[in-house]
Structure 1
Amino acid sequence: MASDLADSPFFRRRKAKIVKDPPKFDLESYISNYDGFTRIDRLHHIGSHSPYLATDAYRAAIAEALQGKNVQLYLDLVAEYSQIAPDDPEALTDTRWAEEKTRKVQNEQDKLEHELKSYKNNLIKESIRMGNEDMGHFYYACGDWTNALKAYLRMREHCTSTKHLADMALRLVFVSIASKAWLTAQQNLMKVDSAQLKGDEKTKLDPLLSALAGLAHMSLGRFREAALSFINTSPAFLTAEPAAGIKWQREVLTGNDIAVYGGLCALASMDRTELQNQVLANNDFRNFLELEPHIRRAINLFCSSKYSACLEILESYRSDYLLDVFLSEVVGDIYSRIRTKSIVQYFIPFSCVTLDEMASKFQLTREHATIEDELEAMINDGTLNARIDLVDRLLISPPTNPRFNVHNDALSMAQRYEHTLQLRLTRLNMLAAGMEIRPERNSHQRENAPSSFGEGISAGLRGFGNKIGLQ
């Protein structure tokens, strides 16, 4: 069945983006963790990339769209599904529903605009703020991200407390994530910080802001910053109450997502010591890793220098991650970085390794036809300090001269000592010549001052000599 769907016109046009292998997760149990727009968005992403799950994903997405106000999203889903399974009843557009829903949506918009206009005429700030908020909610439900952002932004001048400002900024973050505008999301996350919340309100928001910052960093390819944000997310995120009326754990990302995103970003950007100290020994992040044991196992294997086993685990989950709506765009880069780090770390203890051994330890990827091509690319970009002997099929570490390094270090140390000594002698000469500028003394200091210039110089020299250890 999956092979038949892969030959459909829709998937033939998306050949480069098809996930050919079946994922490990069960679609129904996976999608039950999400609500709101992200539920439809994830179903749409899965259906448009996996021939194995396309039918179930599109049917579920269409059913969800029929419960909402986004008529255009429903029409797009049906149009795509009709190219995959044209004989399925769900692939037929329900024009009656679309026309009726469009009319209801227009009536609701007219009503909200009329109410907002009356609030402005009455000049009641709180009513105007809530009117703009209702307009933002409406546009978000309709999938009109631009107008939703504008409506939420208009709330700013009518906010009367720091909590109102923070809620407005969180709503802007929410819309930015839905529209995948990651720079805008980062800017609005900073606005939440600038709202200067205090006490319990700030404590409740900190885990959420850390997780959202990690998501934005990851989507922009800043994997180290993303890893630090995710691993510093408090487990309170899992039980946090809704903020700005949004249940973020179900409408954006779950605890499982934090474990996967944080673990992969850490593997891609941290060395073994950092992974051990900041990830595995992190009591807060351990709560998230327990939700995804294979990520913890992969990190443990990397820290134990079992790189091939670590890569095998990650490779077995590649299909799952390619079907993740946020991770799919960066998973290739993350995997490439982890593999490169593994090869470099594996080669460090050796003076030479056979290419056949390297090929057996690190299974080839789609990017490179042979292990020689991959190693050559790493050597050319300066990632791997080695040479390839194609005659004997060896990867050779360049020769080093330990004696030269020792002599060079000794010479550098002698130059530093000479420079320090010159500075000290210069200081002594300046003191002897009376070229020191001293602070003005009070009457008590003048009574105890030395009786002569020579005696003052001698006292100064003795003090300086004691300070630098001269006898």
Structure 2
Amino acid sequence: MADPLLEFFTQMDIQGGVVVQGEYSPKFDLDLYIQNYRGRTRFDRLLLIGRSSVKLCVEALKAALAEAKRGRDTQRYRDVFEYLRVAAPNDPDAVFDKKWVDRQDVANHEETQRLLTELKGYKNNLVKESIRMGNEDLAKHYEAIGDLNAASEHYSKMRPDVSTAKHVIDVGKHLVRVAIQRREWSMVAPHLVKMTLGGQYPEEERNAQPFIRVASGIALLGQEKYWEAALSFLDADPNVPPKAYNELASRNDIAVYGGLLALATMDRKQLQSMVLENQNFRVFLEPEPHIRRAVTMFVNGRYSACIEILEGYRTDYLLDIYLQKHVSKIYAKIRSKCVVQYLIPFSCVSLDTLEKAFGSPERPIEEELAVMIEEGVLEARIDGLERLVNTVKIDPRAQMQASALVSAENYEKQAIERLRRMAIAAADLELMPTKKQGLHLPLGGDISFGDQEIVMG
């Protein structure tokens, strides 16, 4: 008889999902992990783990099923039940609770109608604060039942009726949260901009700062803007309680996202100053000491140790809701940087030495180096006969000559521009400043436009 779990993950693989095999066990405890979050992201993370991890599949799907029943979104319950039914058909929890679904659907419909009626009454009374609260209650209800389009619409309708700084920030948080759930990365930045208060309310801005930084980093990560995303996470304020942003991410996530993206995009000096010596970010790194060790190893030139540390946590990152699609690309960037930095002091290195330092069972180092050379990441040549990698060193004399040619071209462009300006001045065709406004033709024949005047002679 076929193994249902094997068939389940075979289907997930066919559909293009990420499957983490059983021999690669995650390092986190599922119960402790999910306690770091609140809101709808709890379900999303549990479902992703259930669909991706062979070891945690059934446990995560059962936890997601229980999380769905604690909420009001019946479609989520139907979705996770279907996954659990296929993965573990004999599990006691794999029994569809039709009574709960029917009862919750009726309750959702009644609550929707009640809130719509209340909002209509508030609009008839023309009380702005009541209208704002009515739209907020209705939007939260739509978000809770999974109608994110309607939730976003009613959150947006709150804007004309806000009256305090807190209201402005709350509206922004609601819209950002919904945009991230819908994976509308490009919509996050405009909502975040509207949350800025221009320094008029420092306390509210300080409390909102971590949420803004985390949300901005997640959106930039989703758009593969890794450098900008790293700066956002590195700038988060650790003194604000996690409750301010744990609907999106935890303190551990900030450390992991910021550390990995910094390793992928920053050089050694930047890592030292912006990560290791960043007093605020060091607070986030405390619960994730392996990230700090990996960055330290890279800064100290121990590149193989850095890669080894990160490879030990690859499974955990493949089960992260925002990192999963980017793990391969981020790790490839970090490996490429390590190889390039390793080769800088040498003119020639054997392939066996590189294989020992950076070898991977999935891909021979020679093939990896060839791709790096083709993409222009590495300036080197591979000697397949002698099994050597010869780095291409820039001739200092040629570099000086090229720099001199560039300087000469720039000087020539500047000289031509100055001669042109002198000719214009000699022909009395200069644009002269004037206090006159508008376009008119004075008696002397001069034409004035805005604050400039063309003297016709």
TM (norm. structure 2) is: 0.85
Alignment of 1:15-414 (within 5 A): 15=13, 17-20=18-21, 21-193=24-196, 197-237=200-240, 239=241, 247-364=243-360, 366=362, 368=363, 370-398=364-392, 400-406=394-400
Structure 1 residues 282 and 108, CA gap change in structure 2 (3 angstroms): same
Letter of the 1:92 partner, please give it. V
Distance 2:252 2:171 in 1: 27
**CA distance in 1: counterparts of 2:410 and 2:160, whole angstroms:** 63
Structure 2: distance between partners of 1:417 and 1:111: 72
Structure 1 residues 355, 150: closer, same or farther in 2, change over 3 A? same
Per the TM alignment, residue 159 of structure 1 is displaced from its structure 2 partner at its CA by 2.0
Change (3 A) 1:400 1:70: closer
Q: Taking structure 1 as reference, are residues 55 and 197 closer, same or farther at Cα in structure 2, changes over 3 Å only?
A: farther
Q: Does 1:10 align with 2:8?
A: yes
Counterpart amino acid of 1:308? S
Q: What is the identity, as a one-letter code, of the residue corresponding to 2:39?
A: G
Residue 22 to residue 165, structure 1, CA distance change in 2 (3 Å): same
| Higher percent of residues as helix | 1
Deviates more, 1:202-211 or 1:257-266: 202-211
For the residues of structure 2 that align with 1:408 and 1:63, how far apart are their CA atoms? 67
Which deviations, in whole Å up to 9, do the C-alpha atoms of 1:282-313 show, x marking residues without a partner? 11111111110000000000001111110011
Q: Distance in 2 between matches of 1:379 and 1:154?
A: 53
- Across the aligned residues of Structure 1 and Structure 2, the Cα RMSD in angstroms comes to 2.8
Partner of 2:422: none
SS in 1 for 2:26: coil
SS of aligned partner of 1:72: helix
How many matched pairs? Answer: 418
Q: Deviation per CA, 1:223-280: give whole Å up to 9, x if none.
A: 110111111111123x26xxxxxx3443221111100000001000000110001110
Moved more, 212-221 or 81-90: 212-221
SS of 1:19's partner is coil
SS in 1 for 2:89: coil
Q: Separation in 1 of the partners of 2:409 and 2:124?
A: 76
* Secondary structure class of the residue paired with 2:389: strand
Residue deviations 1:339-394 (CA, integer Å, cap 9, x gap): 1111111111111111111111112263x3x2221111111111110111111011
Report 1:417-436 matches (<5 A). Answer: none
Displacement of 1:408: 5.8
Q: Is the 8 A contact 1:163 1:195 kept in 2?
A: no
1:190-232 per-residue CA deviation (whole Å, 9 max, x = no partner) reads 1212677522212222232122211211122111101111111
- Note the C-alpha offset of 1:411: 7.7
The equivalent of 1:447 in structure 2 is: none
Return the TM-score normalized by structure 1. 0.83
Quote the Cα distance in structure 2 between the aligned partners of 1:192 and 1:372: 50
| Cα contact 1:19–1:51 (8 A) shared by 2 | yes
Which sits farther off after the overlay, 396-405 or 252-261?
396-405
Report the identity percentage: 43
Do the aligned partners of residues 195 and 61 (structure 1) sit closer, same or farther apart at CA in structure 2, a change above 3 Å counting?
Answer: farther
Stretch of structure 1 that moved more, 274-283 or 14-23: 14-23
SS of the residue corresponding to residue 353 of structure 1 reads strand
1-structure distance, mates of 2:404, 2:79? 71
The alpha-carbon distance between structure 1 residues 417 and 105, as it changes in their structure 2 partners (threshold 3 A), is closer
- Could you tell me how far 1:180 is from its partner in structure 2? 2.2
CA offsets 1:133-179 (integer angstroms, 9 cap, x no match): 00100011111111100011111222233432322121101111222
8 Å CA contact 1:165–1:195 kept in 2: the answer is no
1:78 to partner: Cα distance: 0.5
| CA deviation vs aligned residue, 1:384-437 (integer Å, no higher than 9, x gap) | 101111110111113543444456667878x599989x99xx9xxxxxxxxxxx
Aligned partner of 1:389: which letter? D
Structure of greater Rg: 1
* Residues 353, 95 of structure 1: alpha-carbon distance in 2 compared, 3 angstrom cutoff: same
Report SS of the residue matched to 1:335: helix
Measure how far apart 1:337 and its partner are: 0.6
